[in-house]
Structure 1
Amino acid sequence: MKFDLDDQQRDFASSIDAALGAADLPAAVRAWADGDTGPGRKVWSTLADLGVTALNVAEEHDGIGASPVDLVVALERLGYWCVPGPVTESVAVSPILLSSDERSAALAAGELVATVSASAQPRAVNADFAGLILVSDGQEVREGSAGEAHDSVDPSRKLFDVTATGDGWAADVALASEFGALAVAAQLVGAGQALLDASVEYAKQRTQFGRVIGSYQAIKHKLADVHIALELARPLVYGAALSLADRTPDTARDVSAAKVAAADAGLLAARSALQTHGAIGFTQEHDLGLLLLRVQALRSAWGTPTAHRRRLLEAL
């Protein structure tokens, strides 16, 4: 079977690229890390205008009710551009946890941003930015309040202890967790692609011993390995999206396979990008460092690679 995106999905990805490419995301991420979420809020407003925040919200709550494949199309681009904030939690997970709650409409419109504390991710990301904190425990969901803040390897992704408050309601917590892992996998593929693109461009310009470094076999092979890893991870991510759409018995296996492959590809892209750029890649002035830290943070989000490998082995 050959799988490919249709014209509408390609156009959707292109519209996201056009909007985020003009938004100066590196400046927004740096400002966010320094506590100024103003530029980031404008980015989220753009996402709402594009319909990204409504993708996983049901149509009866003014959402789009899109397929998981459409969700992956969008989240891969958000990963590519390193969008700050609780992207996975608000766009992919919260619509499922809110279920038929009337606040789903505000989520779809981008008027409400939510974050989540769950067994796969006990501390809530960017709880100081979110207007709603959801705490999932077993089959029940409750609202939460933010407690102590903790630094993350990615300064723009502060983590917060949360305390559940109020009455709970039933929701498909297991399904929400699968969407969380899938969403992170899609962002890792996007971030890995951004790192590869930046490395290829740099290798065409940087010279050493009178030659551009991209002409050396060592660099060519290193970047080719990253390309192969991403090309192997991407179909697993889309395959997991199809599995989620059909609710197949192998959904958990497919999601874990996607998360593991995407995490490994993202890590390889990060290491290769840093080796290609050299020390300049981790200076404050270079945008590459933002992606390097984002990949490292996302690798353990919504289940560590070890946890997903264990689940994958149990399913085989």
Structure 2
Amino acid sequence: MEFELDEEQRLLRRTVRETVAKVRERPEDQQWQTYRDLGWLEAPPFELTLILEELGYAADPTPFLATATWFAPLTGRLPDGSGTAVFDGTGRYVLDADRADEIALLTPEGVVVVPGSRLTPERVPVLDPRLHVAHVDARPLAAGVPDLALTGLAATAVGACRRVLDLVLEHVKRRTQFGRPIGSFQAVQHKAADMYVAIERARALTHYAALTIAEDDAQRTRAAHMAKAAAGECQRTVFRSGLQLFGAMGFTWENELQLHLKRAQSCDLLLGTASVHRKALLPV
């Protein structure tokens, strides 16, 4: 497998980054329509991972993640509007279920697609106020999670952690103590380095998982577990060090930092934390 991005992939990442920066202040429905019009939902697995990382960086409020990585892998098509899926044997904490036009149910008899309104999903509060999560009353359900769903959450968490690190670096360059920027202190540099290493490790495993999915490799499920576990471990390192390096400012609602910390932690909690996926990698 080739881990270096080619010219087209680098161009895609740059285009997504610039587009998201332009539209992030627009109403949510306009952002969603922009992404659909650009055909991002139809991107192959690896390119989709690059897109999701950039959307995670911007704490994207649209139903892109659920539509592309929860609904589409189960049904083999894109929804009529927005979509999500109910799997893992439960209807608890389903991403974007409260606003999905279509919901795919993984049942013992196979996948069943129903209108979102038919299941009367109930939105529940979660850490990230911009994230839509709901409980769905659907029976019976079968256990099983698409590899792309785990990889998509991992990519989103990596993007959120990248944004936290960028905010931290900007802060420690400006904030002074004892007449010097605090970023010049060795202890601060060590924590920033730990954050960077954790992000790059999680990003590499996420890219590997996307490549195995794209090639339908026999290791795709194992790789997806590895990516989700690494992203969860990454967000814990970034959450702890990022909040500490920001000091009291990091606790305030007015500070952008809290949005990205919550997005990263929510991605870890959805569909199992890092410990759950580490256990899944153990030999039976």
Q: Structure 2 length as normaliser, TM-score? A: 0.89
Contact 2:161 2:261 in 1 (8 A): no
Q: SS where residue 191 of structure 2 aligns?
A: helix
Match of 1:50 in 2: 38
Match of 1:97 in 2: 74
Match of 2:255 in 1: 286
Match of 2:98 in 1: 128
Match of 1:160 in 2: 134
Shift of the 274–180 alpha-carbon distance from structure 1 to 2, 3 Å rule, reads same
Distance 1:121 1:22 in 2: 38
Name the stretch that deviates more: 259-268 or 215-224. 259-268
Contact 1:153 1:297 in 2 (8 A): yes
Match of 1:245 in 2: 214
Distance 2:120 2:192 in 1: 42
User: Are 1:114 and 2:86 an aligned pair?
Assistant: no
Structure 2 residue runs of 5 or longer lacking an equivalent are none
Amino acid at match of 1:240: A
Shift of the 247–280 alpha-carbon distance from structure 1 to 2, 3 Å rule, reads same
Structure 1 ranges of 4+ moved more than 6 A: none
Query: Offset of 1:140 from its aligned partner?
Result: 1.8
Amino acid at match of 2:42: A
User: Are 1:16 and 2:16 an aligned pair?
Assistant: yes
Query: Offset of 1:248 from its aligned partner?
Result: 2.2
User: Are 1:140 and 2:117 an aligned pair?
Assistant: no
Query: Offset of 1:241 from its aligned partner?
Result: 1.3
Amino acid at match of 1:301: L
Q: Which of 194, 214, 221 is the aligned partner of 2:190?
A: 221
Contact 1:146 1:161 in 2 (8 A): no
Aligned-residue Cα RMSD (Å) equals: 2.4
Q: SS where residue 141 of structure 1 aligns?
A: strand
Q: Which of 145, 149, 163 is the aligned partner of 2:123?
A: 149
Match of 1:80 in 2: 57
Amino acid at match of 2:66: E
Q: SS where residue 41 of structure 2 aligns?
A: helix
Amino acid at match of 2:101: G
Distance 1:296 1:304 in 2: 9
Query: Offset of 1:121 from its aligned partner?
Result: 6.7
Query: Offset of 1:138 from its aligned partner?
Result: 4.0
Query: Offset of 1:228 from its aligned partner?
Result: 0.9
Query: Offset of 1:235 from its aligned partner?
Result: 1.4
Distance 1:89 1:115 in 2: 5
Contact 1:200 1:214 in 2 (8 A): yes
Distance 2:65 2:109 in 1: 20
Q: SS where residue 115 of structure 1 aligns?
A: strand
Structure 1 residue runs of 5 or longer lacking an equivalent are 29-38, 56-65
Distance 1:120 1:260 in 2: 20
Contact 2:157 2:265 in 1 (8 A): no
Match of 1:31 in 2: none
Contact 1:181 1:259 in 2 (8 A): yes
Query: Offset of 1:139 from its aligned partner?
Result: 5.6
User: Are 1:189 and 2:141 an aligned pair?
Assistant: no
Distance 1:44 1:182 in 2: 21
Distance 1:274 1:211 in 2: 20
Query: Offset of 1:120 from its aligned partner?
Result: 7.0
Shift of the 54–121 alpha-carbon distance from structure 1 to 2, 3 Å rule, reads farther
Amino acid at match of 1:54: E
Distance 2:74 2:279 in 1: 25
Distance 1:206 1:295 in 2: 25
Match of 1:60 in 2: none
Query: Offset of 1:264 from its aligned partner?
Result: 1.0
Q: Deviations over 1:109-128 (max 9, x none)?
A: xx601122211773322323
Shift of the 83–138 alpha-carbon distance from structure 1 to 2, 3 Å rule, reads farther
Distance 2:90 2:30 in 1: 27
Match of 1:40 in 2: 28
Query: Offset of 1:88 from its aligned partner?
Result: 2.6
Contact 2:206 2:227 in 1 (8 A): yes
Distance 1:97 1:52 in 2: 18
Match of 1:302 in 2: 271
Q: SS where residue 135 of structure 1 aligns?
A: strand
Percent sequence identity is 34
Distance 1:132 1:229 in 2: 36
